[in-house]
Amino acid sequence: GAVVSQHPSWVICKSGTSVKIECRSLDFQATTMFWYRQFPKQSLMLMATSNEGSKATYEQGVEKDKFLINHASLTLSTLTVTSAHPEDSSFYICSATPLTGVKTQYFGPGTRLLVL
Amino acid sequence: DAKTTQPTSMDCAEGRAANLPCNHSTISGNEYVYWYRQIHSQGPQYIIHGLKNNETNEMASLIITEDRKSSTLILPHATLRDTAVYYCISTLNFGNEKLTFGTGTRLTIIP
C-alpha cells in the first residue's frame, strides 16, 4: 500500500519549452502533496506544498509563475516547468500524505529532467 | 522542525546490524522522529517513526533515548540493498508538515 507514481520517469527537452510532471497516489487519497527538487550530490529541497482544490504554497526563492502546480483531485498533482532552461535540469520528486492511516509522506520515484 | 545532526557516512559489514545515530537535542515535546532512506536515483522511502517509545517494524527498529535528545536507527541484518543515504527528521505528526532534509548519513554495506 501507499504507492506514489510519477510520470514521466525522465524527460529531455529543449530550452524554452514547458514540461509537465504528474504525481499520483495510486492506492490512497491525499489532501496534501509536496514537490521537491534535488540537484546532484545535494539533499532534497522542498519547492511547494499543494493542497487539493486550493493554490499551492511555494517556498522562498521558488518562482510560482515558472513552476505551476495544479492539484485537481485527491490523487493527482501536476508540476509544470514553464520555459525550461538548463539550470532547471534536476531530479523532481513528489510526495503525498494519506488521509487516513500512518501520517507520513510517501514519495514517488522521481522524474529526471534534462534541459538542453 | 528541530535541527538534526547525523554522521556524514558509515560503513557496515553485510549481515551485521547497522546502527545509525541521530542527534536532535532541540526537539520539542510534540515532534516525532522520522527516518527515511534514499537509494541512488530513487525517491526517499519511509522507514519508521516514533515519539517516545522504541518502535520496530519489518524494516528496522528505532531506539529513542529517554530525554529524546537522540535516537538510533537499527537495521538488524544489513544487506547490500540497504546501501543508501539515511535521513533523520524531526517533525510534527499531522501529515501535512513540510519535511526538511539535511545531508543524512551515507551508509555503505560492505560485502
pLDDT in tens, B56-75: 999 999 999 999 999 999 99
| B8 at interface of A, judged by CB pairs closer than 8 A | no
Listed residue (B26, B24, B33, B20) closest to B99, CA to CA:
B33
- Number of A/B CB contacts below 8 angstroms equals 58
CB A11 within 8 A of CB A110: no
Query: Residue A72: its pLDDT value, please?
Result: 83
> How far, rounded to the nearest angstrom, does the alpha carbon of residue B97 sit from its chain's CA centroid?
18
CA–CA distances in Å: residue A82 to residues A78, A87, A100, A112: 12, 13, 34, 16
CB B94 within 8 A of CB A103: yes
Ranges of H-type helices in B1-111: none
Residues of chain B with C-beta less than 8 angstroms from the C-beta of A59: 98
Q: Which of B86, B96, B105, B106 to mutate to test the interface with A (most CBs of A within 10 A)?
A: B96
Distance from CA of A104 to the nearest CA of B (A): 6
Nearest Cβ partner for B94 among A4, A98, A103: A103
Q: What is the per-residue burial (b if ≥16 Cβ within 10 Å, else e) of B25-45?
A: eebeeebbbbbbbbeeeebbe
Q: What residues contact residue B72 under an 8 Å CB cut-off, 6+ apart?
A: B19, B20, B21, B22, B62, B63
Cis, bond preceding A8 (omega within 30 deg of 0): yes
What parts of chain B have a pLDDT lower than 70?
Answer: 1-2, 94-95
Distance CA A46, CA A59 (A): 7
Number of alpha carbons in the 13 Å side-chain half-sphere of residue B17: 9
Distance CA B61, CA B35 (A): 10
State which amino acid sits at residue B111.
Answer: P
pLDDT truncated to tens, each residue of chain A (116 aa)?
689 999 999 999 999 999 999 999 999 998 789 999 999 989 999 999 998 888 899 999 999 999 999 988 999 999 999 999 999 999 999 999 888 877 788 999 999 999 99
Residues of chain A with C-beta less than 8 angstroms from the C-beta of B95: 32, 97-98, 103-105
Residues of chain A with C-beta less than 8 angstroms from the C-beta of B46: 2, 104-107
State the DSSP code for B41: T
Can you point out the beta strands (E) in B1-111?
A: 9-13, 18-23, 32-38, 45-50, 55-56, 61-64, 70-75, 84-91, 105-110
| B98 at interface of A, judged by CB pairs closer than 8 A | yes
Distance from CA of B99 to the nearest CA of A (A): 8
CA–CA distances in Å: residue A51 to residues A47, A75, A78, A85, B96: 14, 11, 12, 27, 9
Q: What are the cell numbers at B11?
A: 560503513
